[in-house]
């Protein structure tokens, strides 16, 4: 009887082969399930990103109701003999009360220049911009605002590229086409901003910049005009070249790289695209700060985009365009195949990176009178 019981127990045990088969089956099932789980998580992140864009665009409407115009960014400081005046604060900083961040808004000194310098030196003021730890807005600049961050962006952490730890942002406002550019249906060059978010540099008094933009100025229709879109937060891998300067590692995603677009002069949008693609070397100094500080209106903080270069492609900066915002930042995201973007009426859509180029340009212009049959 005892012998029979021992034999019964031996029959209930797994052999090594059976155990390996079970482990292999479990591994296959996990391998099949993991992509589905990752896809579900990304879908949830994308939906959260769309909700953020909806909230930010609703804030634009509420801001317009209060101020009778849309918010603007300051691309430079108001320098005068008495010291630095207001400057460099972004449109994202101005709409804080409309996203339930009134306390943070009240801590920002909009009457002070958001830069270390109080004397006007072109290269230092506009290109080598930084915020010192002792600046009155240094603490506010480090605030992390969830409504400004897309959860799909792995760089949604405090950034250090501007001298202090600053809160990053995933979203950029549409400032329209480049200065003196011309679309396929335009008969003349654009001499004033034709986007939705205005720009201002009190020092230069630039006539292309238009800080006061109202809904009434969006004659193409709110539902036919881009308002706010995604732009990757830069994570630029730098290395030194043989001449001692900085260059960008090939490991850096192309949508995080900015290539020299030459000088600001009259070009068609098509020629802007072709010119930017012809430049072979990206510039780390003009690429590394995109998205690193939601508080800053500084041109190379990249809180504004120009709908010119195709989605998820390279950015294209203009030497000498630091003071007036001439930076062709491109829409980009970590989502597959396109970006989330809000129209000015508050609707949010996922725009494919293969969108028709001329339709893309038309949606970026607020007053081009282009015929748009259907917005994707």
Asked if residue 20 belongs to a domain, the reply is: no
Q: Return the bridge partners of 304, or none.
A: 173
CA distances from 113 to 145, 164, 172 (A): 22, 16, 21
Residue 11 pLDDT more than 60? no
Domain presence at residue 174: yes
Give the model confidence (pLDDT) of 18-38 as tens digits: 777 788 888 787 777 666 555
Q: What is the pLDDT, as a whole number, of residue 22?
A: 80
Instruction: With respect to residue 17, please indicate whether it lies within any of the assigned structural domains.
Output: no
pLDDT digits 0-9 by tens, 68-118: 999 999 998 876 555 556 889 999 999 999 999 999 999 999 988 888 765
351 in a structural domain: yes
Question: Which residues touch 150 (CB under 8 Å, ≥6 apart)?
Answer: 45, 48, 49, 52, 156, 170, 171, 230, 333, 334, 340
- pLDDT tens per residue across span 297-346: 999 999 999 999 999 999 999 888 888 899 999 999 999 999 999 999 99
Provide the pLDDT confidence category of residue 242 given band limits of 50, 70 and 90: very low
- Note down the domain range covering 202: 35-364
Please give the pLDDT value at position 319: 83
Q: Is residue 376 part of a domain?
A: no
Helix/strand/coil percent split, the chain, to 5? 35, 15, 50
Number of domains in the chain: 1
Q: How many residues does the chain have?
A: 376
> Does residue 22 sit within a domain?
no
Residue 16 within any structural domain of the chain: no
Residues 115-140 pLDDT 10s: 876 555 555 567 778 898 999 999 99
Residue 81 belongs to a domain = yes
Closest C-alpha among 363, 326, 328, 202 to residue 255:
328
């Amino acid at each position: 009887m005892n012998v029979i019981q021992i034999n019964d127990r031996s029959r209930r045990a797994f052999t090594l082969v059976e155990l390996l088969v079970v482990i292999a089956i479990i591994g296959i099932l996990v391998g099949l399930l993991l992509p589905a789980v990752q896809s579900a998580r990304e879908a949830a992140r994308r939906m959260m990103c769309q909700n953020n864009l909806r909230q930010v665009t609703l804030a634009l409407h509420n801001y317009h109701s209060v101020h009778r115009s849309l918010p603007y960014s300051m691309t430079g400081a108001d320098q005068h003999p008495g010291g630095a005046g207001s400057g460099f604060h972004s449109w994202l900083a101005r709409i804080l009360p409309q996203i339930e961040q009134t306390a943070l808004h009240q801590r920002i000194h909009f009457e002070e220049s958001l830069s270390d310098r109080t004397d006007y030196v072109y290269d230092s003021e506009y290109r080598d911009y930084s915020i010192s730890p002792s600046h009155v807005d240094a603490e506010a600049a480090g605030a992390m605002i969830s409504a400004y961050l897309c959860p799909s962006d792995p760089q949604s952490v405090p950034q250090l590229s501007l001298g202090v730890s600053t809160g990053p942002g995933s979203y950029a406002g549409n400032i329209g086409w480049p200065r003196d550019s011309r679309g396929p249906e335009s008969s003349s060059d654009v001499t004033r901003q034709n986007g939705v978010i205005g720009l201002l540099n009190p020092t230069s008094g630039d006539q292309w910049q238009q800080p006061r933009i109202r809904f009434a100025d969006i004659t193409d229709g709110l539902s036919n005009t881009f308002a706010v879109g995604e732009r990757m937060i830069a994570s630029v891998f730098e290395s030194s070249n043989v001449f001692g300067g900085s260059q960008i590692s090939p490991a850096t995603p192309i949508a995080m790289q900015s290539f020299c677009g030459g000088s600001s002069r009259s070009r068609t949008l098509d020629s802007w695209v072709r010119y930017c693609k012809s430049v072979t070397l990206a510039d780390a100094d003009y690429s590394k700060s995109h998205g690193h500080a939601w508080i800053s209106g500084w041109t190379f903080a990249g809180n504004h985009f120009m709908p010119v270069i195709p989605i998820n492609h390279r950015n294209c900066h203009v030497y000498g365009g630091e003071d007036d915002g001439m930076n062709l930042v491109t829409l980009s995201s970590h989502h597959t195949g396109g970006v989330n973007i809000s129209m000015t009426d508050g609707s949010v859509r996922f725009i494919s990176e293969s969108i028709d180029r001329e339709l893309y340009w038309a949606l970026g212009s607020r007053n081009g009178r282009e015929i748009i049959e259907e917005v994707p």
